[in-house]
A and B are shown apart, each in its own frame.
Chain A
Amino acid sequence: MSNDSNSTRRDFLKKGALAGVAAAGSMTLGFGTKNASARALPTPEKWDAEYDVIIVGSGFAGLAAGITAKENGAEKVVILDKMPVNGGNSIINGGLLAVVNSKLQEKEGIEDSVELYLKDLLDAGQDINHKDLIKTVATEGQDLAEWCSEKGVEWNPTLEHLGGHSVPRTYLTTVSSGSGIVRPLTTHYKDKLGGKLQTNTKLTGIVREGNNGRVVGVRVREGYSFDFDSTDGDRGNTSGTEKYYRAKKGVIMATGGFSQDPFFRGAQDPNLAMPTDELDSTNHAGATAEALEEMLRVGAVPVHLAWIQSGPWASPNESGFGVGSSYQIAAGFRYGIMVDTETGKRFMNELDDRRTRTMAMFDVIGDLEDPNYPITIADSQDGVMAAGTLEKCLERDVVLKFDTLEAVANHFNIPEEALKEQVNEYNRYVKEGEDKQFGKPIDDGMKPIEKAPFYVMEGVPKVHHTMGGVMINTEGLVIETATQKPIEGLYAAGESVGGPHGASRLGSCAIPDCLVFGRICGRNAARDKA
């Protein structure tokens, strides 16, 4: 990269920092900025397009909002996405949806309750969850599996049991990916409901009436072209043409998290400040902070920004979420054990919440320059063989197959006797129904590890989810610091919101959060009498 382009980018960043109210020069004339807290864009002289509801972001939350906005009478609805493809993280994720008191739980004879679910969520969240919000997700999310399947989503016929959940309660799409939800919902929104979805359109500003009144529209760059070679979250990209879109009833921000934003995530945790080509994440390249920053700039309350979660189930032998993560979730952690190859011993409850496991694994891994990756060892019991991505993992050497535990020990230089002792000890616990070593929940489907061949996967945590975001109320309205009240016309849902998950999000609880609050925002925006 030449020096010229570096200094151009720095100059832009400087201007950007001052640009709270700046638009094209002529727009700011005559609009006073006496109110120091007013950082929103002033109303433009002319709107380039007019809509009833504008939704920013085309993942789970954005699509749910688009669907209910249309269903509740909003005529002109548009979902915008800055990327050249729709679906953001939602379309590449694991496709896992937690539902309490579901049909599958009934079928599998699993006793569950909203209270137990909330207890799990609050335990993992270290009790700093915004309880009003997470209760809404738990209670209103009970119909999600059917709401999705009515629109063409296909679910596996058995439940997954994810870390941190007391009982199995997680639905999984037949394709083991969130695309199994995004694509049917997108088709439903566009074809059945006549909704509009526009890619390559990036939000660059939120317009508030009279500077701190109601949100009445957005400023965007149409024809925006994301630079996939950037390693700083694509800050400084000014491609596209500036336009102003009016939103007569409301703007719904479904803009996701910031796992791929070195500056913003590094500000919360300096260990994460490395550029995106040095610190791997499971997220798509567009998971950056600028939309969140814009909401904060117009006055939204920031919540839990420092809580950033890494997924403990990833593989160091592939990029991103890959095929290994699904295997580790479905099989490695559930039916196998994870050991430190230096000692041959377990070091954690393989089904603990993500934060606990991540920290335990980083302890074992040590120096990232010379990492000591722990491994999961599973056998060929039914639960393992049912893992949807096992074959792909074997093809890509993300999971290795061995005929004996001795072979495993040899390959990874594990003290053989210690390993065998550990496996025997664990097997005793499985037979007794209680893990006295680390308290891993043992269920009826789990068998001792003894049937060859054995499957082994190396593990590493990857930056995965940003629990923090803006504050909302149970109607999905964004709350501002200036008045501690909702900003009229501004809604948010999904990962861009802070609060529901507290310190650490439980696996499979993001999708229900996105869908429940997406639905609420869409419905409320459409019904707004504005």
Chain B
Amino acid sequence: MEKKELDKAKKSEIARKKIILCIIFVGIIMGGAAGALADVVLKSGVEGTDCRGCHGENKVLPEGHIELSGMTYSNCLECHEDVDVSIREDMLLDHVHMLHGIGCGDCHVDPEDPAEVASETCYECHGDPREVAELTADVDPNPHDSKHYGTDLDCQLCHRQHTPSVDFCAQCHEPVDVP
């Protein structure tokens, strides 16, 4: 009972601040993309929900947002399941990974001196290219199994972690949403 009321209260709060949320998130992420978050120092070993660990005293959550510590990504989705307040669209992939408990050292061999991550590392969790291709089998053209490159493309060509993802196929084809 109590949890339901708490959820309801959170949901109406979010509904009220829907527009502000979007603006702030988009503003922060866009600002980040343009380098305004250049003062963010990605630190290895920081917990996914410890925003201050990398962002320092910069405010990254909207006013009144609940404390995140101890939350997992699926906890976020309990409130953020409404597509109007989707966090996934505005969140860089490194944040999504961190909220799933995947830290810098899980992909970078040496997080203190991070180099480009090979696609093989992505396969360890996301499955091999064949399996990934099945996930987008209904997308045409299938970005993960195209007639030009088959399943050969490196993940990082599209899926960026610390900057917004891009659509490699959009050079010629209609752009699609790339997570």
Interface check B173, CB cutoff 8 A: yes
Of all chain A residues, the one with the shortest Cβ separation from B141 is A392
Within 8 A of A (CB), among B126-179: 140, 147-150, 152-154, 157, 166, 168, 171-174
Q: What are the residues of chain A within 8 A of B149 when measuring CB–CB? A: 85, 87, 91, 179
Of all chain A residues, the one with the shortest Cβ separation from B170 is A319
Chain A interface size range: 20 to 34
Interface check A322, CB cutoff 8 A: yes
How far is it, in angstroms, between the C-alpha of A177 and the C-alpha of B147 when the chains are bound?
8
Interface check A285, CB cutoff 8 A: yes
Given A92-B172, A284-B171, is A183 in contact with B150 using a C-beta cutoff of 8 Å? yes
CB distance from B152 to the nearest CB of A (A): 8
Q: What are the residues of chain A within 8 A of B171 when measuring CB–CB? A: 228, 284-285, 319-320
How far is it, in angstroms, between the C-alpha of A284 and the C-alpha of B149 when the chains are bound?
13
CB distance from B158 to the nearest CB of A (A): 11
Q: Is the CB of A91 within 8 A of B172?
A: no
> Looking at the complex, which one of B148, B154, B173 makes contact with A179 (CB distance below 8 Å)?
B148
Q: Is the CB of A177 within 8 A of B174?
A: no
Interface check A321, CB cutoff 8 A: yes
CB distance from B55 to the nearest CB of A (A): 25
Q: Per DSSP, are chain B's interface residues mostly helix, strand or loop, or mixed?
A: loop
How many residues belonging to B are interface residues under a CB distance threshold of 8 Å? Answer: 15
> Looking at the complex, which one of A84, A91, A285, A318 makes contact with B148 (CB distance below 8 Å)?
A91
Q: Is the CB of B154 within 8 A of A177?
A: no
Given A87-B148, A179-B149, A183-B150, is A319 in contact with B172 using a C-beta cutoff of 8 Å? yes
Q: Is the CB of B172 within 8 A of A175?
A: no
Q: What are the residues of chain B within 8 A of A285 when measuring CB–CB? A: 171
Please indicate which of the listed interface residues B147, B173, B174 has the most CB atoms of chain A within 10 Å of its own CB.
Answer: B147
Given A319-B172, A395-B140, is A85 in contact with B147 using a C-beta cutoff of 8 Å? no
Q: Is the CB of B147 within 8 A of A179?
A: yes
Q: Is the CB of B172 within 8 A of A84?
A: no
How far is it, in angstroms, between the C-alpha of A87 and the C-alpha of B153 when the chains are bound?
12
Interface check A396, CB cutoff 8 A: yes
**7 nearest A-B pairs in the assembled complex, by CB-CB distance:** A320-B172, A179-B148, A319-B172, A175-B147, A91-B148, A92-B148, A177-B147
Chain A contacts to B: CB under 8 angstroms: 84-85, 87, 91-92, 175-177, 179, 183, 228, 284-285, 318-322, 392, 395-396
List 18 A-B pairs, Cβ < 8 Å.
A84-B157, A85-B149, A85-B153, A92-B172, A176-B147, A177-B147, A179-B147, A179-B149, A183-B152, A228-B166, A228-B171, A318-B172, A318-B174, A319-B172, A319-B173, A320-B171, A322-B172, A392-B140
